[in-house]
Chain A
Amino acid sequence: MKWIIKYYLICTFLSGIFLTKGFSEDKIFKRADSLMLAGQFRDARIELEKVIFFHNNQQITTEALIRKSDCYKNEQDFKKTYETLNRIFLQNLPDSLLFEVRYEKALAYFLNEEPGRAIFELQSLQKFLSDEKKALWITFLSAISYCDLKDWEEAKKESLEFLKLNVSDPVEKDSFQMQIDELFSEKNIPKTLSRQTAKNISMFIPGGGQFYSGKIVEGLFSFGLHGALFYFGVSQFLDKFYFTGYTAGFGLLQRLYTGNLQRVQDLVDQVNKTRHDDFFNEYFTILTAIAE
């Protein structure tokens, strides 16, 4: 009987350990963290959702949601990343966590190609700019988000702010400033071509839209083809081959003409994208060089 009581007490004691230590934060996230470390993000996410479901403590659920969003980020599902962060109740959150949540949300928006929403989220972090380390993160993300939005003025402003925060050596600073000024000079800022202009030019001069987009060879080829079909149509008419002139000459010409109008508009989109991507890559290289 004595040893039964003894073992009963041991069990009670163990339960006590579980009830107190079991709910300590480290233990709660131990399994999820090890799964994340092993790269098993799906299992980790499920484990974290379980933590969220079974705990009412706001701090624990917030931590779990941040970790869960991190899993989605590692899986490159950025929409789910910010959706998970949106589940966090922001009121009464300590500043350190508030910054982490909002910053991660902004980053997820940017990575999900929604720079406008990233900027909006970053604007709510203005109060953290007094902290130098946090200011660095905020300005870097703002700089690339504004560039993605094609807001060159703000992008330049943010990159200069980032430079000011990062580099103290005046020589180095001047060198980077020159690079930024050069990049944002009138001639380097990517010009956005207009679809409508390209279409209008091609309506009057077939192939002109390609010239406008900088595709000279394609423009010449298109112009030549239109000319050849027009010549064929007219010559057939003059030789009294009316049906041949109409069908094989003008019929084909009309098809080519309408197709070409659509083609130049697609070409403009392509050129705009390439120009912007090249500019962004160059800008990003400068920013990372500043950060180093």
Chain B
Amino acid sequence: MRFFVSILIILFSLNVAAQYSISQELRFINHMVNQEEYDDVIYYIENHFNKDYPLSVRDSLNFFKGWSQYAIKKLEYSASSLLQVSSNSVFFNKSRFFAAYNFSHLGRPNISGYILNNLKTEGRFNNLKNFQLAGNALLSRSLNDFETSFQNIGTTNDFSFSIEKEKLNEYALEIKDHRDKSMLVGGLMSAIIPGSGKIYAGKTGEGIASFLIIAASGATALENYNKLGIKNAKTILFGSLFAVLYIGNIYGTVFTVKLVNEEFNHEMDHKILFNMHIPLRNIFN
């Protein structure tokens, strides 16, 4: 009996001696995050830790994993990991705010808003929450929701996002004043005067170039038609070329108008997201 107990104790002691404690492991993971070895952090957490650890440990692991995924722009996975951090954790607020931001960045401001609305906050975090909600409202182009959230930010001397707050307000006015260009109008204009639809879309240079090319090919086709008749191969060749360019230009104009509209929205989203991001980094870093 004593022999078996002694063997057990020996084995147990060896096992304990050979491993690092969980607090050491967490400190080590934090060190790897600081070293910016994000891929290794994710790999290490996924392959070396099971789900049997206490909640506080799992919270830390989920936070480090989510933070690393966020750093390497795996935003969907990051949001999923960060949302698993429980409210008892010291990382809870940071995790929620960044999970919400990840969803905003992924083009899902409604999910982001849902996460933020369910987050109980006070003081500075409450202002930050309303600021993020205002940003989400702008991303959804919902100006009424923006007004509500923006007013809820309240008067604050918090320099973490005072400039960004002003910027969001400017973007709201810009969105309010902006009117999308019509693809139909652009197409019709280019059908009447080639290139004019592109000028309408704001691409003046492209419009003039299109006009010159189509006018030159049209003049060539007309010249051959006048001198050689409709059945001549040269007339058919240059006439076909003109037709292709003319129709192609109308299609191109419609596409250009669509792109210009998307360009505005894309650029605006980018600016909004950029300004939503700065206070998060200022406050949580």
Contact = CB atoms under 8 A, between A and B. Distances in A.
Nearest to B43: A42
B47 to A, nearest CB: 8
A204 interface: no
A22 interface: yes
Contacts of B282: none
Interface residues of A, number: 24
Interface in B226-264: 227, 234, 238
Contacts of B222: 243
A241 B223 contact: yes
A50 B17 contact: no
B13 A11 contact: yes
Nearest to A42: B43
B220 A46 contact: no
Interface string B1-38: 01001100110011001001000100110011001010
Nearest to A13: B13
Contacts of B216: 243, 246-247, 251
A242 interface: yes
At the interface, is chain A mostly helix, strand, loop or mixed? Answer: helix
B44 A54 contact: no
Contacts, number: 64
Nearest to A50: B28
Across the A-B interface, give the 10 residue pairs with the lowest CB-CB distance, nearest first. Answer: A18-B17, A243-B219, A14-B13, A243-B220, A243-B223, A247-B216, A247-B220, A244-B220, A53-B31, A53-B28
11 contacts: A7-B9, A10-B13, A14-B17, A46-B43, A46-B44, A53-B27, A241-B224, A242-B223, A244-B223, A244-B238, A246-B216
Given A14-B14, A242-B223, A248-B220, 19 more contacts: A7-B5, A10-B10, A11-B9, A14-B10, A14-B13, A42-B43, A46-B43, A49-B28, A49-B31, A50-B20, A54-B24, A241-B224, A243-B223, A244-B220, A244-B223, A247-B216, A247-B217, A248-B238, A251-B216
